[in-house]
Chain A
């Protein structure tokens, strides 16, 4: 068979035996360009695994760890609380929970990402849930002193189980700590 000369779509590196690396992701093998890391063989094997650590029941998007620690202390073993510092990271945990068929009890959001709207996380979570054919949406609570824009209000009106809790500036986490025990009593 004649040699086939092909180059990496990302960096243009000519691909040959020496320039391709193999990496292992759980039970799969992925061939990548040795120069830029672009995945060359991405044939999917299954739907992705969600092994390792158990998924939490409640995800909090916050920059401070103390609120997560305080809630974990409060709920003990009855509720597992995890914290993430980027709103989109909550999506990963949400996907993992859905894949394991143990959906989250709620997502609490106190911050938004740079150049993101408050509604982005809600839209993304609902799109994920629809794709995963989840019948019951995860409640999303926003604890913030911000005022949603007209556009955000319009988007929220179309989505179920979105709760906007206005707080004084700087008191978002305190309000969250007051409300959370009431919700999971």
Chain B
């Protein structure tokens, strides 16, 4: 047997970029934190530019981008809010967004709320599709937020891919 030369060895599936197969993904980051730019940079590096991040610096701008995406029918896969925000607070942003979705009879946007506090149980109970990530008040929060974004997007993408495959007659979700 002749082993394949190292430069011709294909990387295993687990090493290939998981974001390349699904085309571009869009997320909206609403953050006034000085480390928000680090999140953009980390996401860009980790996804090899397959995830497009729009950055809004206050709540009003965030709600504007969300409304625009609803109007144009060009969705963001995930909304990320960091606390605190000027103009509109994170809670008001989520409230407003959920009210707009109810008015338009839309399924709710997935939201990731990043705060330095413990999980706000009332908020999560009242507003569906909202996840909470506790992050420190330091620049290290950038890597946690970026990891959270990638984790959620990857999970949803994997589920959707599995679901599509099952629609085609080859169910790939674990059936245990």
A7 at the interface (CB under 8 A from B): yes
**9-residue interface stretch from B45-53, B63-71, B139-147:** B63-71
A160 at the interface (CB under 8 A from B): no
A99 at the interface (CB under 8 A from B): yes
Decide yes or no: A124 and B63 within 8 Å by CB, A6-B162, A96-B104 being known contacts.
yes
Could you say which of B103, B151, B162 contacts A9, with CB atoms under 8 Å apart? B151
Decide yes or no: A40 and B174 within 8 Å by CB, A9-B151, A46-B73 being known contacts.
no
**9-residue interface stretch from A25-33, A138-146, A173-181:** A25-33
**Complex-state Cα separation, A127 to B65, whole angstroms:** 8
**Complex-state Cα separation, A85 to B59, whole angstroms:** 23
> Interface residue count for A (Cβ, 8 Å)?
61
> Interface residue count for B (Cβ, 8 Å)?
57
A185 at the interface (CB under 8 A from B): no
**Complex-state Cα separation, A43 to B65, whole angstroms:** 18
**Complex-state Cα separation, A51 to B176, whole angstroms:** 41
A124 touches B155 (CB 8 A): no
A127 touches B103 (CB 8 A): no
B170 at the interface (CB under 8 A from A): yes
A78 at the interface (CB under 8 A from B): no
Could you say which of A1, A8, A124 contacts B96, with CB atoms under 8 Å apart? A124
B54 at the interface (CB under 8 A from A): no
If over half of B's interface residues share one DSSP class (helix, strand or loop), that class is named, otherwise mixed; here it is helix
Decide yes or no: A16 and B103 within 8 Å by CB, A4-B158, A38-B129 being known contacts.
no
Chain B 142-176 interface mask (CB, 8 Å, partner A; 1/0)? 00000000011001101111110100001111111
Residue of A nearest to B173 (CB): A16
Residue of B nearest to A38 (CB): B129
Could you say which of A40, A48, A88, A93 contacts B95, with CB atoms under 8 Å apart? A88
Partner-B contacts on A (CB < 8 A): 1-10, 14-17, 20, 25-26, 28, 30-31, 37-44, 46-52, 86, 88-96, 99, 113, 115-116, 120, 123-124, 126-133, 155
Known A49-B104, A52-B105, A128-B64; 7 more pairs at CB < 8 Å: A6-B155, A6-B162, A15-B159, A39-B129, A42-B77, A123-B59, A131-B69
- A sample of 30 cross-chain residue pairs with beta-carbon separation below 8 angstroms, ordered by A number, consists of A6-B173, A9-B155, A15-B173, A15-B174, A16-B173, A17-B171, A28-B107, A30-B107, A37-B128, A39-B110, A41-B163, A43-B160, A47-B70, A47-B73, A50-B104, A89-B99, A91-B96, A92-B102, A92-B104, A115-B91, A123-B60, A123-B63, A124-B60, A124-B88, A127-B88, A128-B63, A129-B67, A130-B68, A131-B63, A132-B68
